[in-house]
Chains A and B, each alone.
Chain A
Amino acid sequence: MGDSTVTRSQQQLAVSQQTQQHQQGPYVSVITNRTSNLVIRGAMLFSVGVFLALVLNLLQVQRNVTLFPPDVISSIFSSAWWVPPCCGTASAMIGLLYPCIDGHLGEPHKFKREWSSVMRCVAVFVGINHASAKVDFANNIQLSLTLAALSIGLWWTFDRSRSGFGLGVGIALLATLATQLLVYNGVFKYTSPDFLYIRSWLPCIFFAGVITMGNIGRQLALYEYKFIQEKTHQD
């Protein structure tokens, strides 16, 4: 006969769960509402994007890769004010887009849908950024190639879906174009541009970021999906 060990927390959860079942709190109804769920997910993705943008920008600014007007450097928000919101919005869009596209294509993403895998993905993404900022490469081509290989490796390790790859490439291209325009108009600049006005590794970073945010978005959408499911069950 089998045996199983249940942790204390699970037991507690079991009890609280029973009580929870009987009283459907307002929170649950908020969660199960489709639009509010979308909003919540968007907000979470936005905050993740803002946080990552701040942290990763700090890395770049420390190494004098990116130059912003000097007055803002002293603050902890080491980039211009508009960068984190932009990144946040972009990540929210990406994170919502991925599960949406999955749903439309009808091929749900099943590969490694666990939070630990997502965490690993985020860690690798931060590592790629770290490498781009801190590791001294011989030349820019080497750096870009390495980062490109790393990004593809990230996709292969954590995503492996064609839609993810396509979306990643597309968004990376768009974002690169946007950055080129921004730099062209003199909003900010790079210290040693080697790809028109920007650094050539930027598309790789964008790609890796899209994959990461998509991963997070899909994981979050898993909850929503289950809620919807539940709701239909209850109805």
Chain B
Amino acid sequence: MTLREQLREKISAAFYRHGLLCASYPVPIILFTSASILTCCYPLLRLPLPGTGPVEFTTGVRDYSVPSHEPHGDLGERPDWYRGPPVAYIQQVLVKAAVSPWDSSLVPVDVFRSPLGRVFSLLEEIRNHVHSDSSGSRSLESLCLQVTGLFPGLRRMQSVLPEHGCLLVSPGNYWQNQRELFDSDPDLLKTIQKHEPKGLHTSATLRDLLFGVPGKYTGVSHYNRKRVVTYTITVVLSSYDARFLGSLRARLKQLHPSANCSLRDDHMVHVHFKEEIGIAELIPLVTTYIILFAYIYFSTRKIDMVKSKWGLALAAVVTVLSSLLMSVGLCTLFGLTPTLNGGEIFPYLVVVIGLENVLVLTKSVVSTPVDLEVKLRIAQGLSNESWSIMKNMATELCIILIGYFTLVPAIQEFCLFAVVGLVSDFFLQMFFFTTVLSIDIRRMELADLNRRLPAEAGLPPPKPGPLRPREVPPPPRPSPHTITLQTPAFRNLRLPKRLRVVYFLARTRLAQRIIMAGTVIWIGILVYTDPAGIRTYLAAQVSEQSPLGDSGGAGLPPHLAVAPVFRGGDPTSTLSIHAAPDPTPLPENQSQGHHGSGRSGPLPQAPPAVPQITWGAEDEEGWRRLSFRHWPSLFSYYNITLAKRYISILPVIPVTVHLSPQEAIETRHPQDTRHPPLPVPKVSADLQTDLTLYKVAALGLAAGVLLVLLLFCLYRVLCPRNYGQNGVAHGRRRRGDLPCDDYGYSPPISEISPLLLRGHSMDIECLASDGMLLASCCLAGQIRVWDRLSSSSGCWEQRDGWDGMSSATDLSEDEAYPVRRRTALPWPTLFTDQPDLTPLIDTNFTCQPPSHLSTPPRGGFDFGGLVERAYMEHEPPSPSAYPAPSSASSSSVWAMELRGNLIAAGRSSGKLELWDAVEGSLRCRNEDGVSGITALAFLNNRIVAARLNGSLDFFTVEIKKPLGLLQYRGPPGRGSMPPSPCYSSEDVISLQLTRSIQCAHQKPITVLRAAAGRVVTGSQDHTVRVYRLEDSCCLFTLQGHSGGITAIYIDQTMVLASGGQDGAICLWDVLTGSRVSHVYGHRGDVTSLVCTNSCVISSGLDDLICIWDRSTGIKLYSIQQEVGCGASLGVISESLLVTGGQGCVSFWDLNFGDLLQTVYLGQSSDGQGVRQLLVLDNAAIVCDFGSELSLVYVPSVLEKLD
């Protein structure tokens, strides 16, 4: 235990020093932190950007061999996925066919009907090709990928895709590879279009699959300017046979020579596909992200009481994110490459690392006393939370270490990342976030100061030195009170619960915003990376644009006429020299029959044909123009996944087919001619290209505008509208400013006005009241009694003042008085009801100057006119008039009670005195005790005094009436127990010590309460004792607290609540002495306790007011008050709570935890907290306010509640 304590102390001290350091040098530390973040993130630059696109690897064809499964040592640039055989080899035969020369008698359908028709003969050729050599003869059947059946869900594809046998796709599949069907098809385009999916589609369509080139390059349409039809026959091979493929290539080239073809055929490309993320996989991912956002939202919502809530929330998120990045970067640096899908584990990492520490830090720092220096505040806040932070971190590390020993690679990796992330998060919290916090708090103080200056502009400039309000000398008071209501600044954490539900949507706007931003980014990424998305579109646009743009720029005639020029001028023709010799060496093993038959067919047309058909570099790898989901989707139709596998794409075989017009006419379908001849747009190609250009430009412009609008909207949504004037709107409102909410609505000035009762020269120490009279006692030992002239007017009059002090004090007061008397005008006596003013009282009245006389006529001050305040200062009684207490010179009043017209005052010297409240005469005195009286209870005719030494004295007040005198203010007596017994001045009152319990408690009694015939004492010895008032017998000793008792509440219903220094609150059953409930609510002493019928209200040193359910002991809610608020509490009615603050009192609605009003008591009360607060029976409260008493009458609040 001691070791733990030592450790704790050391950690706390270390954190304290660290906090000092951070707050002292914020800028260098932030720079250092940023530098370290950047350094740690630097290795990330080398990582490939995450994406789902396929990866390519190119090898030569000649020395190709199937890679082995085992990784070789000399891998070099070989990617690690290039192992083992590919899923399939793709051999594409790229056919370009055209009818030439073009005849004006031809109809648009002719452009593609006969070229497409040639696919059947080519298919025949490919299927029947047999290569035989020494190792035997091989046909396509033996090499190709045999498929067994379509994926069950693809019923509509059944007619087009091969269901079994070789996977060989071509446009012929539309007509089941049957020439007859093709010939009898009246509308080819309709057939093709029939299979297109409706609506938007982003991935490979059937048309792309069958044609093997993107739809717009096929040239199969009525509006084909180039009149060249392009398509591919795609052969999927399961094994690679170089000789067979070579012979097939040679054969096809021989049959259909491509004169100017310069395609390279010495490279094969291996394409590796990553794991595909389908929409189904995205849903869980999106869900986790939504949960993550919700978590971040609910966490950052708790940040409060800082200058810039958003800034701190951002800093918190930045802390977590950059710690993640750092962890990944560090792991990469030490050679651990992340194999996990980063996007998937990211939310879990954030959740594991968490934002809690950051929030705890903020809360702890914010709850330190504000009047400390910023440095000290940070340091103190840090050291307060150091232990819990270290404990949490150790726990988390332990959990993660346990996870590490599961020996599952994925989990191990996750744990490794999490450990590094946790450590770097801790580092960032300590350096980055703490520093940001210190800057924020400093800003808050500066803003505070700035706002204070203009308010005091009219006054002489304040001294530059003292910034703290406590040091400012009290300026003259122009008016006794200022009213402010509804300062939302006091509204804290707790909002009414039903509104929380009702305004749930309103509150979740933040979540909506974050999710919206996330979605926008996500969509942006998707659009950009999607194969059919904007990137490929732009690339296609650019590639399409460039040749046209060139030709247009050169002023050349349209494309058709350009064609011959290309032949000579085409830069690729230089390569044709190298390509040309390829077809010549005829494979010797080629079957002769094919050779002969093939040669006879196409030969006549080929050489003389007008070479409309050009082969460019873009044809070399035409599959690149396809969506990269082309191959996965083709294979997925046969239930073969390409995820994490690769395919090898063999060099394409070019085939050029020229058809004569006669042939085209022969193959016509009778219905083809019905199509009207294409009205050839007379628009020149120039204009065409221009139009495309304009289109692109307009699109780009529109996109730009849209983007700007979007960003603007995002900005508007994300940033508060009053960005610049944040501080004004949110900051603390100075007292005296007219409160005005965001809508410009200024509530009417409150009719609550505090009434200041002046007269004491020093701070008020004790307050007592019995409803009619109010007694107050100040540090100087002066007791003043105030009476209310009439309860309706709310006017109070200082009834009497006297001094029980020694002459020394009297003298000093005497010196003080003349000054005031001289400045003040004599006030004509306005006393209307002064029956009890005895001739003893000197009638040297001193009153307030007229300007102070009545409260300023503010609007809504409904009883202001009625209030007349008259001060009657009473000369200190001459020593001869009262017997001056002999030994009172050093004793002050520690406790005071008022019943009827008797004031019981307990002094530090141990004396108990009874004064007549009306006459100001000392009626009786008991000097038995020597230990100071710390608490007094006055009930009926008994007085209980608790003393510093732990003893408890019970006194009885005995009244002996002189015979013949009648009681005119009520019959007193021992038997009858009126609530406020009155004693006439003629009565002889004596105090009798009935019982003295010497060792009631081991330690000083701190609190004493009496009600319902019970006396309850609480002491520093952690116990509560219950005594019966009648016979002063101890009924119970209640044990349960682990600290000294600081607050006790007992009322007529026998409910007993006690609060201690341990922050615990206990509810007891007074009848049985059993503990009903025991709750911990405060981080520090419980300073005050009040109960209503249904709940218990406690306030603590942590400036928290907690409201507990009385029957179950469940905390209903808590109100975070301003730091340094007084701990005084009072309940006015069942649902109205009043708390004292710094120079103000606040009224709260208990049902909702709502701040109803805040009433400021004076102008220059910054340092004066309300420590004592008394609730009188008629909705008035009295509280001390420095050396003044303040009476706040709250009818309006009550009306509102009723």
**A: which residues have CB within 8 A of B?**
1-17, 20-21, 25, 27-28, 31-32, 51, 54-56, 58-59, 62, 70, 73-74, 76, 78, 106, 108, 110, 114-116, 118-120, 122-124, 126-127, 130-131, 134-138, 142-143, 145-146, 149, 153, 223, 225-227, 229-230, 232-234
Contact = CB atoms under 8 A, between A and B. Distances in A.
Contacts, number: 215
A6 B497 CA distance: 18
B730 interface: yes
Nearest to B408: A137
B291 A234 contact: no
A17 B287 CA distance: 33
B298 A119 contact: yes
Contacts of A146: 403, 406, 408, 411
A127 B495 CA distance: 33
A1 B288 contact: no
Given A120-B351, A130-B344, A108 B729 contact: no
A9 B502 CA distance: 14
A142 B403 CA distance: 12
Given A2-B1122, A8-B720, A76-B280, A15 B729 contact: no
Contacts of B729: 8, 11
Contacts of A233: 1094, 1134-1135, 1150-1151
Nearest to A59: B284
Contact of B1123 (A2, A6, A25): A2
Contact of A131 (B409, B411, B489, B1143): B411
Interface residues of B, number: 95
Contacts of B492: 4
A141 to B, nearest CB: 11
11 contacts: A1-B1166, A3-B444, A5-B304, A5-B305, A9-B507, A54-B283, A110-B1114, A115-B298, A123-B348, A127-B351, A233-B1150
A136 B406 CA distance: 12
Interface of B: 152-153, 279-281, 283-284, 287-288, 291-292, 294-295, 298-299, 301-302, 304-309, 344, 347-348, 351, 354-355, 370-371, 399, 402-403, 406-411, 444, 448, 469, 486, 488-492, 495-503, 506-507, 509, 720, 722, 729-732, 741-743, 745, 1094, 1103, 1109, 1112-1117, 1121-1125, 1134-1135, 1142-1143, 1150-1152, 1154, 1166-1167
B1112 A108 contact: yes
Nearest to B308: A5
A6 B509 CA distance: 17
B288 A123 contact: yes
A233 B1094 CA distance: 7
B507 A126 contact: no
B350 to A, nearest CB: 9
Contacts of B292: 123
A73 B1150 CA distance: 55
Contacts of A143: 408
Contacts of B1134: 233
Given A2-B1122, A146-B406, A230-B1152, 16 more contacts: A1-B1142, A2-B1125, A3-B305, A4-B305, A4-B1122, A5-B308, A5-B730, A13-B503, A20-B502, A31-B498, A55-B283, A116-B302, A122-B291, A130-B344, A149-B406, A233-B1150
Contacts of B469: 1
B1071 to A, nearest CB: 20
Given A114-B298, A223-B497, A4 B732 contact: yes
A116 B295 contact: yes
B295 A55 contact: no
Contacts of A116: 295, 298-299, 301-302, 355
A62 B305 contact: no
B730 A108 contact: no
A75 B563 CA distance: 51
A120 B354 contact: yes
A8 B498 contact: no
A28 B502 contact: yes
A7 B510 CA distance: 13
Contacts of B509: 9
A97 to B, nearest CB: 19
Given A116-B302, A123-B295, A2 B280 contact: no
Given A5-B731, A8-B730, A74-B153, A223 B501 contact: yes
A180 B720 CA distance: 55
A135 B408 contact: yes
A20 B1123 contact: no
Nearest to A138: B408
Given A9-B506, A15-B743, A135-B408, A230 B1112 contact: no
